[in-house]
């Protein structure tokens, strides 16, 4: 299986690094394209993959094409890619906000749409994978194998992609926002920066790990550490008074709405 990545950016690098490290594919079967020669040099040196600035040439010999350019570049690159596609090629798009039907453009092109997130850069990504109209189960499996090399890959319906975008696509930013707030409070309470960074990061990672490994619900785990009259109770009551849960729900819905708007152009 020969795979070509169109756009040798950050996300493409995360996936290429993951699939080669995990032996999902051989470096010799991977090709990356970019307009930037320095990026291509970097990929060749780091991962030993093929490279070219010629999108059409790279597409012509590929079984799987991963569209990893920014969404705004899509209209510029797609016509030449579409013309060069092998008749049985699979197109996997990680571009935000571009529906599979827009890529297939009325033709029976097999498209799988992926919504990744940036922790893929450290092998801890969370990706939603959705089959376009003509994609078959084996196509979804290929996308799952690629994204599974850099984290968790979950299959969803394409109509759920906007919700996935709001939850896990944009999700890392919500966690960073929480961390920003926790660290600001730590500074105000006089904790040394390095110490508070370590404690806050381990708290977020540890809480997520505890929830995953225990299989318990978030509310149950929270109740366990919130005894009436205690310190956690004081904190959670303050969050509730400020309507933080409602704000988070509204925030995700706003992200979903924006994702739908972007997909509709």
Ligand X SMILES: NC(=O)c1ccc[n+]([C@@H]2O[C@H](COP(=O)([O-])OP(=O)(O)OC[C@H]3O[C@@H](n4cnc5c(N)ncnc54)[C@H](OP(=O)(O)O)[C@@H]3O)[C@@H](O)[C@H]2O)c1
Residues that bind ligand X (CB under 6 A): 6-12, 33-36, 39, 55, 68-71, 73, 76-77, 94-96, 115-118, 169
Q: Of 102, 105, 103, 109, whose CA–CA distance to 134 is shortest?
A: 109
Q: How many CB atoms lie within 10 A of CB 247?
A: 10
When the beta carbons of 12 and 130 are compared against ligand X, the nearer one is: 12
69-72: which pairs have CB atoms within 8 A and are 24 or more residues apart? 69/6, 69/7, 69/9, 69/95, 70/7, 70/9, 70/95, 71/95, 71/96, 71/97, 71/98, 71/262
Q: How far is CA 31 from the centre of its chain?
A: 21
Rounded distance between C-alpha atoms, residue 206 and residue 201, angstroms: 8
| Shortest Cβ 206–ligand X spacing (Å) | 23
For 151: left if phi > 0, alpha if psi spans -120 to 50, otherwise beta; the answer is: left
When the beta carbons of 70 and 193 are compared against ligand X, the nearer one is: 70
Residue 84 phi, psi (nearest 5): -90, -10
When the beta carbons of 93 and 196 are compared against ligand X, the nearer one is: 93
Rounded distance between C-alpha atoms, residue 145 and residue 128, angstroms: 12
When the beta carbons of 59 and 131 are compared against ligand X, the nearer one is: 59
Q: Which residue is nearest to ligand X (CB)?
A: 9
When the beta carbons of 11 and 91 are compared against ligand X, the nearer one is: 11
| Shortest Cβ 262–ligand X spacing (Å) | 10
| Shortest Cβ 68–ligand X spacing (Å) | 5
When the beta carbons of 9 and 123 are compared against ligand X, the nearer one is: 9
When the beta carbons of 125 and 139 are compared against ligand X, the nearer one is: 125
DSSP characters for 118-152?
Answer: GGGGGT-EEEEEEE-TT--HHHHHHHHHHHHTTEE
């Amino acid at each position: 299986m020969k795979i070509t990545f169109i756009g040798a950016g950050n996300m493409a690098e995360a996936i290429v690094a993951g699939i080669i490290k995990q032996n999902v594919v051989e470096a010799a079967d991977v090709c990356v394209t970019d307009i930037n020669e320095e990026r291509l040099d970097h990929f060749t040196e780091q991962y030993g993959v093929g490279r070219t600035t010629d999108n059409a040439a790279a597409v012509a010999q590929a079984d799987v094409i991963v569209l990893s350019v920014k969404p705004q570049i899509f209209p510029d690159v797609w016509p030449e890619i579409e013309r060069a596609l092998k008749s049985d090629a699979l197109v996997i798009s990680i571009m935000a906000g571009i529906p599979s039907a827009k890529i297939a453009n009325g033709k029976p092109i097999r498209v799988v749409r992926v919504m990744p997130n940036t922790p893929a850069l450290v092998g801890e990504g969370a990706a939603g994978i959705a089959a376009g109209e003509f994609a078959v189960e084996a196509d979804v499996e290929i996308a799952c194998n690629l994204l599974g090399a850099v984290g968790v890959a979950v299959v969803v319906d394409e109509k759920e992609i906007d919700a996935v975008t709001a939850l896990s696509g944009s999700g890392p930013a919500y966690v960073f926002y929480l961390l920003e707030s926790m660290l600001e409070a730590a500074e105000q309470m006089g904790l040394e920066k390095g110490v508070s960074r370590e404690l806050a990061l381990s708290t977020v990672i540890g809480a997520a790990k505890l929830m995953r490994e225990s299989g318990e619900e978030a509310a149950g785990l929270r109740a366990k550490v919130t005894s009436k009259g205690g310190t956690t109770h004081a904190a959670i009551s303050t969050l509730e008074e400020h309507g933080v849960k409602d704000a988070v729900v509204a925030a995700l819905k706003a992200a979903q709405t924006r994702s739908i708007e972007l997909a509709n152009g």
